[in-house]
Structure 1
Amino acid sequence: MKCCCHGQTATCIDLVPIFQNLTSEEKQEVAQITSQKSVEKGELIYSMGDEVDSLFVIHSGLVKIYRLSDTGKEQVLRLVKPGDFLGELTLFSHSPMGHYAEALEPCSMCIIEGSQLKALMGKYPTIAFKVLEELSQRLEKTEQLLEDISLHSVERRLAQVLLDLSAGGNEIELEMSKRDLASQMGMSGETLSRKLSSFEAQGLIEQIGQRRMIIKDRAGLEGVLDGE
């Protein structure tokens, strides 16, 4: 990894919700324990089993968090976008990392040394509360994903994801590959392709290229949710 522009430090800190309630002077304290790095597309920020002692704040780019089973099957857990952070569990545990973090595109990030950040969390409890709030939200999303995989059909899960990704509009631009999307949804890439083709044949969606889709019949997609 190589260093990136030092001027990004303050921007990184301003981007992250856990620091938003700090004054400019307090943010400067955070900046003093922060360094900058950049990684290339496909590069691992850390691997499962690594011992990590820093918080990584994404300034630009996209990072995939995933696990690998003993058989090599990949399970995508989440995407980390600008303003998000990773490595936070090292603030509370010295256990090795339980997942991989891979750059899906060139990324720049700020890195905050863990022990120094914990000292600041003691000084400014709002940082600790915000970290715990973020962790609880991630846990809730993980529990929801497990519930969906256990209780709902592939069609219902796919319809819900497409509606969520559309954010109320009709166009969807995937931030990750369909293979990674399938992994995150707990299905194979072949199953996802087959179900997308089925939705397209029903006139619910139109696929344009590898990552773009148009919702043609929102009521029909919502009907998939109601029909289960």
Structure 2
Amino acid sequence: MDFKPCNSCGSCPVAWDNFKNLTEAQIKEIDASRFEAKYKAGEVIFKQGSPTPNAVFMASGLAKLYLETDEGKRVIIALVKPGRLIGGPGIFIDNTHYFNLVAVKDSTVCFIEMKMLKKMVHDNGDFAEGFLRDISIKALASLKKIISFSQKKMNGRLAEGLLYLSDQVFNSDEFNSCLTRQEIGELTLMTKESTVRLLKEFDEEGILQVRGSNIKILDKERLAKIMQSG
């Protein structure tokens, strides 16, 4: 869906659900502290270690949220779709980004001043509860992924990653992942070489049809069994 600039977060078709807890006057305060920016695929939206003067809201496109280790290895935490607010754990600790956010598709992003969101947290209990719930859901999803992947072999991790793309990112069994083999490996904690090999095996076994970045899941039941038995 193409994103058309909105005059207000209250009328945005992909607005963060928690904004519904704000009054009309509070929405106007948010609007006054908000600005939009467009990013081409591959452009950095924010960098790990940089300050967090603003929260980031995905209005259109797709971005990858990833952690980079001191050794230069990357782990993709999630793919970020429109409707998600990205703040990170540093918001209320040291005002530092602990992840990188990079556009995977051409994207439109809204920046909202953190001091304004913090004001809403102090002034509006329902908004504060919604903010905590949002942070908790994301933290729990990351924890579940770490636990799940630590208990799986490579084929199980790839299967889980593909089902994540199908069910939670693209909502379809056939999609253009917009990801390189390297990035799929970073999403599933594997090397590029292992990712290429397993995708080819899944294709040859009739589980998938893989054509470049286009992936079609042919046998979802079998893929789910590989994930579970991983």
What does 1:68-87 correspond to in 2, within 5 Å?
A: 68-87=68-87
Q: Which residue in 1 is equivalent to 2:119?
A: 119
Distance 1:43 1:12, change over 3 A: farther
Could you list the per-position Cα deviations for residues 121-176 of structure 1 after superposition, in whole angstroms to 9, with x for gaps in the alignment? 21112222112111111111111111122111111222233334333864243243
Could you list the per-position Cα deviations for residues 86-110 of structure 1 after superposition, in whole angstroms to 9, with x for gaps in the alignment? 1243431224222211122332222
2:187 aligned with 1:184: yes
Give 1 or 2 for the bigger CA radius of gyration.
Answer: 1
Amino acid at match of 1:224: I
Structure-1 separation of matches of 2:90 and 2:180? 29
Structure-1 separation of matches of 2:71 and 2:184? 19
What is the SS of the residue equivalent to 2:129? helix
Contact 2:66 2:76 in 1 (8 A): yes
Structure-1 separation of matches of 2:195 and 2:187? 11
Question: Displacement of 1:14 after TM fit?
Answer: 5.8
Q: Which residue in 2 is equivalent to 1:210?
A: 212
Runs (4+) off by over 6 Å: none
Question: Displacement of 1:81 after TM fit?
Answer: 1.5
What is the SS of the residue equivalent to 1:89? coil
CA RMSD after TM alignment: 2.5
Question: Displacement of 1:197 after TM fit?
Answer: 0.9
TM-score by length of 1: 0.85
Q: Which residue in 1 is equivalent to 2:30?
A: 30
Could you list the per-position Cα deviations for residues 51-97 of structure 1 after superposition, in whole angstroms to 9, with x for gaps in the alignment? 11211111112221112222222111112211111124343122422
Question: Displacement of 1:6 after TM fit?
Answer: 6.1
What is the SS of the residue equivalent to 2:26? helix
Distance 1:38 1:225, change over 3 A: closer
Structure-2 separation of matches of 1:103 and 1:194? 27
Residue ranges of structure 2 left out of the alignment (5+ in a row)? none
Contact 1:121 1:127 in 2 (8 A): yes
Structure-1 separation of matches of 2:6 and 2:174? 37
Question: Displacement of 1:203 after TM fit?
Answer: 1.8
Structure-1 separation of matches of 2:227 and 2:191? 21
Residue ranges of structure 1 left out of the alignment (5+ in a row)? none
TM-score by length of 2: 0.84
Contact 2:6 2:12 in 1 (8 A): no
What is the SS of the residue equivalent to 2:226? helix
2:55 aligned with 1:55: yes
Q: Which residue in 1 is equivalent to 2:46?
A: 46
Contact 2:8 2:31 in 1 (8 A): no
Amino acid at match of 1:58: M
Amino acid at match of 1:195: L
Aligned length, in residue pairs: 224
Q: Which residue in 2 is equivalent to 1:173?
A: 176
Structure-1 separation of matches of 2:156 and 2:199? 12
What is the SS of the residue equivalent to 1:15? coil
Structure-1 separation of matches of 2:14 and 2:123? 19
Question: Displacement of 1:17 after TM fit?
Answer: 1.6
